[in-house]
């Protein structure tokens, strides 16, 4: 299999990235909000000076994976909400009509600023997804490497959060790619989460 082409996210990628997110994380909350909400999420990274983005495509153009994040999480999510307010409002109404019980968590998602109850700093890796049929081919590791390079170029490390339970493959993937467990916590909804950090330049273990 030829190496994928890895480049920054473009507007032409947004719809496919949203659809890929749903396929990659069936049953997860953001996926349940639907492609329209996810399109607003991915589109929000376009043109933001703090954004780190990458997509991987086959040489003939098929989408294999995507990663997005920000070197300034709190500022980014505030700007995202201001820039995409109308789009998020419409997408949120559609999501709540589909799943009325999602309203409280949806509000928390819209107001999220990258904060975690653990002392971490650096770039926040907000989302990484890989086409299910292309997992274990190295695509995810290539995307992580691109994210690491961008964070290091900004003079910082990175952090992310992921589910602790029933998520062994994802947790193992991050550990293989150099992420270190910084701590664990439980959300108000009862989800147990792992928080991982990626050392900054000159700090690698």
- Order of all β-strands in the sheet with 180-186: 5-7, 51-57, 63-70, 123-130, 158-163, 192-198, 180-186
∠ Cα 146 152 157 (to 5°): 100
Q: What angle do CA 134, 129, 19 make, to 5 degrees?
A: 95
d(CA 43, CA 7): 16
pLDDT by residue (tens digit) across 133-151?
888 789 999 999 999 999 9
Predicted local distance difference test score (pLDDT) of residue 40: 84
Considering only CA atoms, which of 118, 119, 113, 24 is closest in space to residue 67? 24
Report strand pairing: 158-163 vs 123-130.
Answer: parallel
Nearest of 12, 11, 3, 9 to residue 127 by alpha carbon? 9
d(C-alpha 80, C-alpha 76), whole Å: 6
Q: Tell me, what DSSP letter sits at residue 3?
A: P
Is the whole model's pTM more than 0.85, yes or no?
no
CA atoms of 162 and 182, how far apart (whole Å): 12
Convert the pLDDT of each residue in 22-31 to its tens digit: 999 887 767 7
CATH superfamily of 5-198: Gcn5-related N-acetyltransferase (GNAT) (3.40.630.30)
Where do runs of H (alpha helix) occur along the chain?
14-24, 29-32, 35-43, 73-83, 85-98, 103-111, 139-153, 168-176
Q: Which residues in the chain land under pLDDT 50?
A: none
Quote the pLDDT of residue 41. 85
- Tell me what pLDDT residue 87 has: 63
Residue 128 neighbours by CB distance under 10 Å: 23
Domain ranges of the chain: 5-198
């Amino acid at each position: 299999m030829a190496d994928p082409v890895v480049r920054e996210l473009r507007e032409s990628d947004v719809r496919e990235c949203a659809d890929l997110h749903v396929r990659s994380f069936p049953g997860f909350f953001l996926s349940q909000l639907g492609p329209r909400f996810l399109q607003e999420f991915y589109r929000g990274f376009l043109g933001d000076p703090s954004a780190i983005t990458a997509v991987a495509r086959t040489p003939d153009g098929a989408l294999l994976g995507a990663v997005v994040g920000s070197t300034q999480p709190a500022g980014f999510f505030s700007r995202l909400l201001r820039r995409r307010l109308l789009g998020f409002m419409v997408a949120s109404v559609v999501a709540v009509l589909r799943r009325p019980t999602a309203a409280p968590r949806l509000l928390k998602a819209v107001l999220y600023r990258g904060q975690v109850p653990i002392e971490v700093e650096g770039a926040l890796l907000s989302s990484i997804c890989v086409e299910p049929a292309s997992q274990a081919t190295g695509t995810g590791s290539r995307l992580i490497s691109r994210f690491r390079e961008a964070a290091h170029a900004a003079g910082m490390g990175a952090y992310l959060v992921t589910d602790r339970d029933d998520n062994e493959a994802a947790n193992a993937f991050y550990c293989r790619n150099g992420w270190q467990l910084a701590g664990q916590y439980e959300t108000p909804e009862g989800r147990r989460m792992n928080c991982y950090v990626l050392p900054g330049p000159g700090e690698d273990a």
